[in-house]
Structure 1
Amino acid sequence: MNIVEILQRQVRERPDVPAIIDMHGGRERVTTFAELESASARGASLLRECGLVNGDTVLVFQPMSAELYIALMALFRLGMTAMFLDPSTGREHIERCCSIRPPAALVASPKAHLLRLISPALRRIPRQICLSRSMPWCIPWSRSRQLEPHLPILPCDAETPALITFTSGSTGLPKAAVRSHGFLLEQHRVLELAIHLTPGAIDLTTLPVFVLANLASGVTSLIPDADLRRPGAIEAAPVLRQIERFSPTTVAASPAFVERICDSCETSCRTLTGFRYVFTGGAPVFPDHLERFAVTFPGAEVVAVYGSTEAEPIAHISRLAMNGDDLAAMKAGRGLLTGKPVAEICVRVIVACWGTPLGELDGAGFSALCLSAGLTGEVVVSGGHVLQGYLNGVGDDETKFRVNGTVWHRTGDSGYFDDQGRLWLMGRSSAVINDGRGQLYPFAVECAARQVPSVARAALIGKQGRRCLFVQPRGGIHPDMAEVRASLAWAQLDEVRELKEIPLDKRHNAKVDYNRLARI
């Protein structure tokens, strides 16, 4: 089934209900399900007029907006593949990605088209389409308004590619993650249950894949009036005005985005009522996050969602499901509680062997690797919404293995199950410290350090045989280093240093960038 067919169901059932609410030209804009369907069908006519056909790959550069999802639906209905990459990673990354999968067209905003001035790979793309105003040597998307809608939807099987995204390639060649129509349909089914998607609800969301799930479920997506390229530095005031205007009942965002909302609300001594759920993920969600979010969103159930590019979601847990014993365990270095895995995924913890390819295993061989509750190892997953492999197999040896033909994905995370079947994370497998004193896990230390009130963020690294902890002050108050050391005596730290800002990932502004930290 083509994923666009699910959108058409929503068009039939609620044509005049807003599908996407965003800002355009400084004004609020509402696009209904019927308008989204009509615009995407006309966009499909434009793509056909440009000579694009089923199977073509189209590079898309466009922020979260109605235009983005109109273009996506136009591509999907014709059986084309939308390709995304992060231009902020530099020209070399763009060149590499375009060589791995040469696009047949570029569909982009005017600002993104300027990248052609520095990128030979982008200039080589044969068709250039501009999603907003006209630009030299570009076909304007606005031309689609004069065309008759292309109503047919190309039938797709489960393996037909729909989306291609790339890893950063910071440790080698970029890996291309291919999501098929079948993968997206299964992911929607899982998300619909996990995050309680209810037709007619309004969701404030910063996560692109959640907008696709919303569209398929009849949920209105309110796209924040903010620069979502840096969620940890957004201006909260415009977003708060949107909340007042449209009264969303759910929010789905990275912890960095929600923290910016909390910063503003705490400064003005206000809270946000009317929300039923706050879903946060895309980066580690620590107990202090959950407590803080619960204060800003009183009455809302705050839920931490654990997942990855290759498998979203894996597990989730509500703040209300954490008890005093759980919080005490996290403070004592037991790691980060992520909850029970969703029913639609298989999760196992195997003997730690990150960096060693596993290849093909039989049932007995896999069982021998699997660890029992309480033992820490490598987290692996399998299921319908787990990525089966990367484009051209690049990266499969590192992150995939098979058990009697079934594909399993290696998340790269260390963790363990408790006796209640809940998954606890201990940090990235590549960041685990192994020295003469034994093993020390990043999340064990970082989660405990964040319990000190003056610590906003913490990061553990091994450096020249020393266990080094960096702490970032909260609210300009210098952390009490004696308190930090005393609370972490069990970790046998060699050094505790204060940093004004711990380096974070560019995408979510919430994951520690351990490589940059090691160079400090």
Structure 2
Amino acid sequence: MKTKLTNISELFLNATKKHPNNVAIIDKNDQPITYAQLAEDVKATAAYFQRKGIGKGDRVLVFVPMGIDLYRIVLALFYIGATAVFLDEWVSKKRMELCCQLADCKGFIGVWKARAFALFSKELRRIPIKLSLKKKHKTGVPIAQVPPDTTALITFTTGSTGIPKAANRTHAFLREQFDALLEEIHPKVRDVDMPVLPIVLFVNLGVGCTSVIADFKMTKPEAIDEAVIIEQITKHQVNRMIASPFFIKRLAQYTIEQKVELPQINKVVTGGAPVFPQEATLYVKAFPQATSMVVYGSTEVEPISSIDAQTLSQAPETLPEGLPVGEIFHKTEVRIIRVSDGNIPACSALALDEMTLEDDVIGEIIVAGAHVLKQYFKNDAAFRQNKIIVGNKIWHRTGDSGLKKGNQLLLTGRCAQLIEFEGGYLSPFIIENQLVNIAGVTMGTLLEMNQQRILVLESVLNKEVLAPKMGNIPYDKLQVVAQIPRDARHHSKIDYGALKLQLGA
């Protein structure tokens, strides 16, 4: 039975009472902090925020990289009932200013580079209260009791156009997400984890285990120094890793090439971007003692499903039906509905049944459940585009296409990328997997532009050499580029908008 909580920071405080001397976080510079010390710093920071005029319901823009300071600050904001507005390190100035306009923050806290950046940003300058990163107050304050639907955290999706889509994470939602992730990733008190995904470290802080911050720049993931990460893992006896596919793949390739053994690693979890069979095979080979798992989810709902790498590695490389993403999480209700460009207004259960497709038919994946985000912050358009209201239940439209086979889920890519062809759909997502298995191709996709199907390949080889290798892929034009743009967050997915601009769309 769940303990009744009114403030999500109580999860951390309860873990502190049970395990005060456990190390909570080890920073990039090898600086450790125990749960007891972190709790003391959280309360002192909360007192400082209150003294500066930050209170219940106030929004504070947090521009701080992943580390001890980030979690101290965010927990302190939760503690006093304020809202942390979190911006990723890789956000552009234009996007940051749009986020600031939307969030209308009362306070701003950031590292010195962010504060210097504020000199050139009208939106940052207009935030009335500037908070110091290091200042605390000796006198503590009581924890704020807040209604469950109080917003604790606002995070932004990675879109680069239009009004920013801000996930409104309430205290109640964060608790549901904590419980769901706890079941899926199973952290234990004695674990030493390397969580590269920021939300996972919050889960660890609610359990009492140790988190090691990976020493690399999240703004430049391609510059990762694998040897440095290996040294951290060995020094701190890290036994778990939870990171993006890009991070895990780079580390797996390095350990195989350099014949590095990491026998203490017993759990590897990845998510945030697709993982194909050939990558899963790398995980199994690189971390033979570990249980490796791929989690499928999104900003609005995590997890949706999961699959172990061993099973995925045995899937056919050509993926004739779709990419297996495993068994649907038991708290997630999943349906596949007809692909539709328009909004789907509130409807009856019968109307939703009529939209729902049979197993083995490609359509849009929609999900419902207690750990599914119910609302966006000040963005009714995003709600209408992404939600379906059926009675008291809110379904989330993932925008992903796929199909069900009983309780197993397969992905066929983003709905927006599907290409109508001969009465059905071509899935660029599946074609992309076929392309990376062709010698000389590092990445590729099929785009529909100007009523033509353009096959784009990232390769050092020329068209004449590549064309005969394309098999039965139905394209009108072949284009070879030096580099296909990737997403800024995980550096794993194709940035289709940027690619179209690169091609002159």
- Measured against the shorter chain, the TM-score band is over 0.9
Which residue of 2 is the match for residue 10 of structure 1?
15
Q: Distance in 1 between matches of 2:250 and 2:310?
A: 23
Which residue of 2 is the match for residue 305 of structure 1?
295
Residue 176 (structure 2) aligned to one of 177, 186, 208: 186
Residue 44 of structure 1 deviates from its aligned partner by 0.6
Q: Which amino acid is 2:296 matched to?
A: Y
Which residue of 1 is the match for residue 451 of structure 2?
465
Which residue of 2 is the match for residue 137 of structure 1?
none
Q: Distance in 1 between matches of 2:442 and 2:217?
A: 23
Please state if 1:382 is matched with 2:368.
yes
Which residue of 2 is the match for residue 492 of structure 1?
474
Residue 79 (structure 1) aligned to one of 72, 81, 106: 81
Partner secondary structure for residue 186 of structure 1: helix
Which residue of 1 is the match for residue 329 of structure 2?
342
Q: Distance in 2 between matches of 1:260 and 1:87?
A: 21
Bigger mean CA offset, 307-316 vs 271-280: 271-280
Which residue of 1 is the match for residue 144 of structure 2?
154
Q: Distance in 1 between matches of 2:371 and 2:219?
A: 26
CA contact (8 A) 2:25 2:68 kept: yes
Residue 396 (structure 1) aligned to one of 360, 383, 398: 383
Residue 87 of structure 1 deviates from its aligned partner by 6.2
Which residue of 2 is the match for residue 138 of structure 1?
none
Which residue of 2 is the match for residue 238 of structure 1?
228
Which residue of 2 is the match for residue 34 of structure 1?
36
Q: Relative to 1, partners in 2 of residues 1:258 and 1:87: Cα closer, same or farther, differing over 3 Å?
A: closer
Residue 166 of structure 1 deviates from its aligned partner by 2.0
Which residue of 1 is the match for residue 115 of structure 2?
113
Within 5 Å, which residues of 2 pair with 1:23-102? 23=28, 27-86=29-88, 88-102=90-104
CA contact (8 A) 1:335 1:447 kept: no
Partner secondary structure for residue 206 of structure 2: helix
Residue 35 of structure 1 deviates from its aligned partner by 1.0
Q: Distance in 2 between matches of 1:116 and 1:197?
A: 38
Residue 6 of structure 1 deviates from its aligned partner by 1.1
Residue 452 of structure 1 deviates from its aligned partner by 3.2
Residue 515 (structure 1) aligned to one of 474, 497, 501: 497
Q: Deviations over 1:496-518 (max 9, x none)?
A: 44433221011111111111212
CA contact (8 A) 1:459 1:502 kept: no
Bigger mean CA offset, 122-131 vs 263-272: 263-272
CA contact (8 A) 1:377 1:414 kept: yes
Q: Relative to 1, partners in 2 of residues 1:177 and 1:494: Cα closer, same or farther, differing over 3 Å?
A: same
Q: Distance in 2 between matches of 1:281 and 1:501?
A: 23
Q: Distance in 1 between matches of 2:149 and 2:14?
A: 22
Residue 368 of structure 1 deviates from its aligned partner by 0.7
Within 5 Å, which residues of 2 pair with 1:365-376? 365-376=351-362
Which residue of 1 is the match for residue 483 of structure 2?
501
Q: Deviations over 1:353-411 (max 9, x none)?
A: 1x211111111111111111100100001111111011122411110111112111100
Q: Deviations over 1:69-124 (max 9, x none)?
A: 00011100100000022464433322222221211111111111111121011111
Partner secondary structure for residue 448 of structure 2: strand
In the superposition, the TM-score normalised over structure 2's length comes to 0.93
Q: Relative to 1, partners in 2 of residues 1:453 and 1:169: Cα closer, same or farther, differing over 3 Å?
A: closer
Identity of aligned residues (%): 33
Q: Deviations over 1:260-312 (max 9, x none)?
A: 22343344232322211111111111112111122222211221111111111
Residue 481 (structure 1) aligned to one of 450, 455, 466: 466
Partner secondary structure for residue 372 of structure 1: coil
Residue 457 of structure 1 deviates from its aligned partner by 2.5
CA contact (8 A) 2:446 2:475 kept: no
CA contact (8 A) 2:283 2:309 kept: no
CA contact (8 A) 1:467 1:495 kept: yes
Which residue of 2 is the match for residue 134 of structure 1?
none
Which residue of 2 is the match for residue 408 of structure 1?
395
Please state if 1:364 is matched with 2:366.
no
CA contact (8 A) 1:4 1:76 kept: yes
Partner secondary structure for residue 434 of structure 1: strand
Which residue of 1 is the match for residue 129 of structure 2?
127
Q: Deviations over 1:116-175 (max 9, x none)?
A: 1210111111111231xxxxxxxxx33x1x51222x211223211111112345331112
Q: Relative to 1, partners in 2 of residues 1:169 and 1:421: Cα closer, same or farther, differing over 3 Å?
A: closer
Residue 305 (structure 2) aligned to one of 315, 338, 352: 315
Q: Which amino acid is 1:149 matched to?
A: G
Q: Distance in 2 between matches of 1:108 and 1:341?
A: 39
Q: Distance in 2 between matches of 1:167 and 1:373?
A: 30
Q: Relative to 1, partners in 2 of residues 1:352 and 1:164: Cα closer, same or farther, differing over 3 Å?
A: same
CA contact (8 A) 2:64 2:89 kept: no
CA contact (8 A) 1:21 1:30 kept: yes
Partner secondary structure for residue 304 of structure 2: strand
Which residue of 2 is the match for residue 22 of structure 1?
27
In the superposition, the TM-score normalised over structure 1's length comes to 0.91
Q: Deviations over 1:12-33 (max 9, x none)?
A: 111011111112xxx3111111
Q: Distance in 1 between matches of 2:354 and 2:206?
A: 41
Partner secondary structure for residue 297 of structure 2: strand
Residue 273 (structure 1) aligned to one of 263, 278, 288: 263
Residue 177 of structure 1 deviates from its aligned partner by 1.2
Partner secondary structure for residue 410 of structure 1: strand
Q: Which amino acid is 1:341 matched to?
A: I
Q: Relative to 1, partners in 2 of residues 1:219 and 1:394: Cα closer, same or farther, differing over 3 Å?
A: farther
Gaps of 5+ in 2: none
CA contact (8 A) 2:245 2:492 kept: yes
Q: Distance in 2 between matches of 1:66 and 1:503?
A: 32
Q: Relative to 1, partners in 2 of residues 1:411 and 1:81: Cα closer, same or farther, differing over 3 Å?
A: same
**Deviant stretches of 4+, over 6 Å:** 476-480
Q: Relative to 1, partners in 2 of residues 1:98 and 1:430: Cα closer, same or farther, differing over 3 Å?
A: same
Partner secondary structure for residue 45 of structure 2: helix
Gaps of 5+ in 1: 132-140
CA contact (8 A) 1:379 1:412 kept: yes
Q: Relative to 1, partners in 2 of residues 1:260 and 1:130: Cα closer, same or farther, differing over 3 Å?
A: farther
CA contact (8 A) 1:14 1:33 kept: yes
Bigger mean CA offset, 422-431 vs 78-87: 78-87
Cα root mean square deviation, aligned: 2.0
CA contact (8 A) 2:65 2:89 kept: no
